[in-house]
Amino acid sequence: MDNSILEKIQKVDYIFSDSRYVLPNSAFIAFKGENFDGHDFIRSAYEKGARLFFISNKKKWPNNIKAPYICLPQEKLKKLYFELCHLIYRTKEIFKKIKIIGITGTNGKTTTAFSLQRILSFKYKVGLIGTEVYKLGNFEKKAFRTTPSLDYLLFLFKKAYEENLDYVVMEVSSHALQQKRVYKVPFYLSIFTNLSQDHLDYHKNMENYFKAKTKIFFQTLKYGLINPYDKYSLIIKNLSSIYPCKILSLPLKKKEKILDLGKEKLYLNTNLVGDYNLENVAFASYAAYLLGMDKDRIKREIQNIYVPGRLEKIRENIFIDYAHTPDGLERVCKALKSAFSDKNLIVIFGAGGNRDKKKRPLMLKSVLSYASKIILTMDNPRFEDDIEILLDILEGVKSLPKEEKKKIYDILKEKGFYKFSEKIILIRYREDAIKYALRKFNTHNNIFLFAGKGNENYIEIKGEKRPFSEKKEILKWV
């Protein structure tokens, strides 16, 4: 890196690529992306306190702003970015002091992260970065992305360092691994929960998705934990010699609900419902054990775990969950049917727009054998037509001819309601679906699963995140 650049970055405390998060005495790096051009936000960044700028287009520099800037070709700027982030945040010092625990997988990341943070917090100062929240000591912010961009992630690590934390437990998405958002982050211990179909709009196929997830083990220093009940974990086990860390298979015996620790056994008595949650709690417990936690303390801590929006009980017979994949939905439905075998299961869900379209019919298939009634409804359509998404989901029952699709589309557009069969109902707007389900079917014989939104506080339509809380909507009608 050029000495003049090294000299300039010594004078700033932060670096950001999004002007919304700029703090006084920051560097701001202006990337030109597909939807936004960072150069358009130079003034905003300056007004918030940015005092050093990295740009690729001099013509877009505002005339009346007097601040130092470094102009480089976009590709060179992108390459420089990764090292700039680490240098400005002085991460060598941070990583000497704080151990980072990374959790990846299609399902279970959030529950495993919350559980591990709870267990470790009895003995250590522990931060949490994930889908729900960024919590580092006294610093707390509602999460805007499971794994944020590298500059913001290292900002969070800086906060953890300032708060004198011992550990940071973080969720690591496949996008983050592929896009180098965790570039040069040394994970002390990593967990691979499972892998099933999701994000194929981005990764294109399961092989690429798997390869992206396993990148985490190349950055892991000590232990990499895998799931003996997951077929992809078996591939990792067979490739274990290529990773710098020690790959360990979770020593879980599901029937007995114990972790077999050799001379010791840890009984997994937890309040969380479901076979899949047993895996999540087992991962958290085993990781805590490897990090030096006493097994009796682990046993006590897992008895009462709360994870917002993950099979969260709103009323005795009403649950919300974030499940938005075929495997995730099936796991949650199976857990509820197992726990309430004498009840009918009513499932309300949809599918997100501008995401993996292939999983939509599979989501419906995964629910069919468990649910007595299914209501398909809106779930973050983003820039897609929300009714077309519902028609995609319906393909899980049968292939619909064009004429039938048009008929359903027109009725939904006009009335917002369509009874497809005795079992399946389509209700366009989510608040209407919640009202209908609870007024029509809320008896002691039924249990409800509202899936897909979990603890989200918005619904995203045409680029706008409109305020929406599943929990609040449900409470209006019970």
> What mean pLDDT comes out for the span 280-284?
98
Contact 102, 118 (CB under 8 A): no
Residue 35 has a pLDDT of 85
**Hey, what CATH topology would domain 91-301 get?**
UDP-N-acetylmuramoyl-L-alanine:D-glutamate ligase (3.40.1190)
- What is the location of CATH 3.40.1390.10 in the chain? 3-88
Which residues belong to CATH 3.40.1190.10 in the chain?
91-301
Q: Cα–Cα distance between 218 and 143 in angstroms, integer?
A: 26
Topology at the third CATH level for domain 3-88: 3.40.1390
CB 320 within 8 A of CB 314: yes
pLDDT average, residue stretch 155-164: 98
CA nearest to 78, candidates 203, 222, 4, 180? 180
Q: What global pTM score does this model have?
A: 0.91
Tens digit of each residue's pLDDT (9 = 90 or more) over 212-250: 999 999 999 999 999 999 999 999 999 999 999 999 999
Indicate where the chain has its CATH 3.90.190.20 domain(s). 312-476
Give residue 226's Cα distance to chain centre.
19
CATH class of 312-476: alpha beta
Task: Please report, rounded to a whole number, the percentage of residues in the chain having pLDDT higher than 70.
Answer: 100
The CA–CA distances, whole Å, from 470 to 313, 317, 431, 438 equal 12, 15, 8, 13
Whole-angstrom distance between the N-terminal and C-terminal Cα of the chain? 62
- Residue type (1 letter), 131: T
In sequence order, the 6+-apart residues with CB closer than 8 A to the CB of 434 are 348, 450, 470, 473, 474, 476, 477
The pLDDT of residue 286 is 98
CB count in 10 Å sphere of residue 360: 22
77-99: average pLDDT:
97
Alpha-carbon span 358 to 154, nearest angstrom:
35
The chain-wide mean pLDDT, for the chain, equals 96
Q: How far is CA 24 from the centre of its chain?
A: 30
Model confidence over 417-453: pLDDT tens digits?
A: 999 999 999 999 999 999 999 999 988 899 999 999 9
- pLDDT score at 320: 97
